[in-house]
Every structure is written in structure tokens, then in C-alpha cells.
Amino acid sequence: MRVLVTGGAGYIGSHASLRLLQDGHDVISIDNVSRGHAQAEAVLAKIGGDRYSPYRCDLHETERLAEILTSHDIDVLMHFAAFAEVGESVDHPLRYHHNNIAGTVSVLRAIDQAGTSRVVFSSSRSTYGEPAEDQIPINEDTPQSPINPYGASKLQCERMLRDLAEAYRRADRPFSYAALRYFNVAGCDRQTRLGEDHRPESHLIPICLHTALGKREKMAIFGTDYPTPDGTCIRDYVHVEDLADAHVRVMGVLEPGDERRYNVGIGKGFSVRECIESSKRVTGVDFQVDEAERRPGDPPELYADVSKIKRELGWEASITDIDETVESAWKWFKSHPDGWPEG
């Protein structure tokens, strides 16, 4: 298939592109590298050769997007490009409405012009907000009530896809989409070709590894009095390679008229302390960890009910051991202590 990947130079988009290339697909990548990395594109170009075509393109360039979709006769669009920092979204909500929501409007207008009929959308468990305790594990029917602009932006994009699908159905036009609601994505390509490099970094496992590398003097646990076995928050960490596999799996089954929504996680959680202890085991570094007050908006426990995606697609995570996930990231961080080089 010919697959257009938005955000193809980013963490998840580049790993998905790698998997698509390994499976023999043609990848057409667009990214403005405001959050992605040209070095990731260079790695993919060496692997994909003439089956990999990167474009420096912004989501808001509707006409250019439509031209790229048409000229490559795209079969499937995978839409990863988005800002994804919860704290930033609270401080700069308009930035998230402009990039994530208006940017997706532009992408959907482009596919409407080009006639592309299949979309796999990168959504988030943040669309669920803070489910009640009796709604854990979270299934796809859990009410979506986001508590921050990031989660709200992803939910609005899901609604736009639903509305477009309904309009196409009334017009008797073929269209299908899947919205994959990720839980906490972690790890790196186990052959260390691609990695995770956010600036600034706000994700737990990379922060642990930066501290082990000496890039940070110390790190903190925010809240140690939660109603969990060790008092710290519990989250579901899905390996980025398994996440890429879920995209390929759902891409292969989309039929005209399909509207699919799946949680993507491992179906269990690890606590903040467990992730820190795993990082210390894997790295062999006993780095400093301070205890701090809780942060607002951190529920005690969030993990996925993944029975639907297993039942309908036969997908389940292959990497469920936290040490294996951390080790895959550590290999890349050790070989790229300063992240991707600039330029």
C-alpha cells in the first residue's frame, strides 16, 4: 500500500513509518519538524530507499497536502501530527486548538479533495479524562470527558472523523477510519535506529534515563500517598513497536463504511516507583529521586481494557515486561545521550 504519514519525523510517526517500510509498503511522510527530527527521516530514507518519500510540509497547507495525496495515489492516511504535551495545552490552549484541531480540518479537507478513503487517526486515552474508580480498566464505551485542551483536541478530531464518515455515507462515497486511543507510549526501536526525543521532556521513563545519564541532577515523584500498593500513580505503558503494529493491523482490515475505535495498551499498569526501580535495574545507576507534592489532575490509576482490539483484530501487546521496555529505550539513549542532533 501507499501510506501517507503525517508527523512522520516524530517519535510515534517515525516508528510507524519504519514498520510500514519493513512490511514492504511505500511511505510518504510529511512533517514541518517543529517537534519532529530530520535525522529520523534520514534513518528512514536509508532503510526505505525509493519507497520512502519525505516532504517538508505543514498541516495547514491544504492544497499542497491534496496535491501530495493525489500525486502518490495514497491508499491510507495515518495522522500522527499533533502537539501532545498536556501541561503545555493548559498553558497555551489556542496553540493546541490551532495545531491539532484546525490542522486536522486541513488534513480532512485535503483528503476530501484527493479522494483518499481510509484514515487511521492517532487519538489518546486523554479523551476519557478522569474516569471513576469503577470504570477502571477503561474500555471504549467509557464516557469521553477530557479535562485538558490536549484531550479535548483529540476528542474533537474523533468527532470530525465521525461527522465526515456520516456525510460520505449519505453521499454514497466510500470512507472508513479508525481512532486508536493510546495509553502511555514508551520504549524505542530495539535495533536503536529510532528513538524518543521530546524537547522539553515530560515523560517518566525518558526522565528516569536522562537522570541515569547525568543529564539531570535528580528527578521527583509527584505524590506518594495515592490509594495504590506503593502510593504512586499507576499507568499503562505500551511499547512503541507494539503501537506501530496496531496501526498496521487496523489499516489492513478497514473496509468502506468502517468506523473503528480501539484502546491500545497492555491491559495492566506499572506505578511510578516501579518504573523508577526498573530504570535503576536496567541502567545500573542509583540516581537521586526526591518526593514532591501531588500534581493536580493525576488520577491514581489508569490502564486499558484491551479486550476489544484483541477480539476484533487479534492484536495484543508482545512487550509487557517493564524492564524490556526500559531497556529498549536505554540502548537508544546511551547511543544518543544528547538526543537527535540538530539540523
Give the residue numbers marked as catalytic: 150
Amino acid sitting at position 59: L
Q: All 3 cell numbers of residue 306?
A: 484491551
Smallest CA-to-CA distance from 325 within 268, 248, 286 is with 268
**Phi-psi region at 154: left, alpha or beta (left = phi > 0; alpha = psi -120 to 50):** alpha
Place of cell 506503593: 230
CB 248 within 8 Å of CB 316: no
Q: Which three-class secondary structure string do you get for the chain?
A: CEEEEECCCCHHHHHHHHHHHHCCCEEEEEECCCCCCHHHHHHHHHHHHHHEEEEECCCCCHHHHHHHHHHCCCCEEEECCCCCCHHHHHHCHHHHHHHHHHHHHHHHHHHHHHCCCEEEEEEEHHHHCCCCHHHCCECCCCCCCCCCHHHHHHHHHHHHHHHHHHHHHHCCCCCEEEEEEECEEECCCCCCCCCCCCCCCCCHHHHHHHHHHCCCCCEEEECCCCCCCCCCCEECEEEHHHHHHHHHHHHCCCCCCCEEEEEECCCCCEEHHHHHHHHHHHHCCCCCEEEECCCCCCCCEECECCHHHHHHHCCCCCCCCHHHHHHHHHHHHHHCCCCCCCC
CB 293 within 8 Å of CB 222: yes
